[in-house]
Amino acid sequence: MRLNIKRQIGDHYEAQASQFLTAAGLKPITQNYQCRFGEIDLIMQDGDTIVFVEVRYRSTSDFGGSLASVTTSKQKRIIKTAKHYLSQKPFEVYCRFDIIAFESAAEPIWLKNAFQE
């Protein structure tokens, strides 16, 4: 049951992040893209750039908060998953990796180009 609650909370913040990014002019492509390497919360388009978005929520900033929770190993999994997604495209595209972080009830923090390969 606890996992189900976590999934509901995750879905809630992913929907908020999608609305926030859409209001900022990005276009949704897909949500919760999965492959054997991992999952990407949101894939959006910003002009000619594909944006892979990791959505993080932490109710407190203990242990570094939501931004700090995107560790190097998490970044590597996201990059591998993004490569898998891009391998299915018949053309080359620009891409970047963003983080949308939520801390308690505050406005989201949008960190563009948060990490790279």
Identify which has the larger pLDDT, 4 or 72: 72
Tell me the whole-structure pTM to 2 decimals. 0.90
Condensed to tens digits (0 to 9), the pLDDT of residues 53-75 reads 999 987 666 666 788 788 899 99
Which CATH number fits the domain that encloses residue 59?
3.40.1350.10
Q: What percent of the chain has pLDDT over 70?
A: 91
- Structural domain that includes position 25: 2-115
Q: Are 41 and 55 in contact (CB under 8 A)?
A: yes
Mean pLDDT, range 89-112, rounded to an integer:
88
Query: Total structural domains in the chain?
Result: 1
Three-class SS string for 21-68? HHHCCCEEEEEEEEECCEEEEEEEEECCEEEEEEEEEECCCHHHHHHH
State which amino acid sits at residue 34: Q
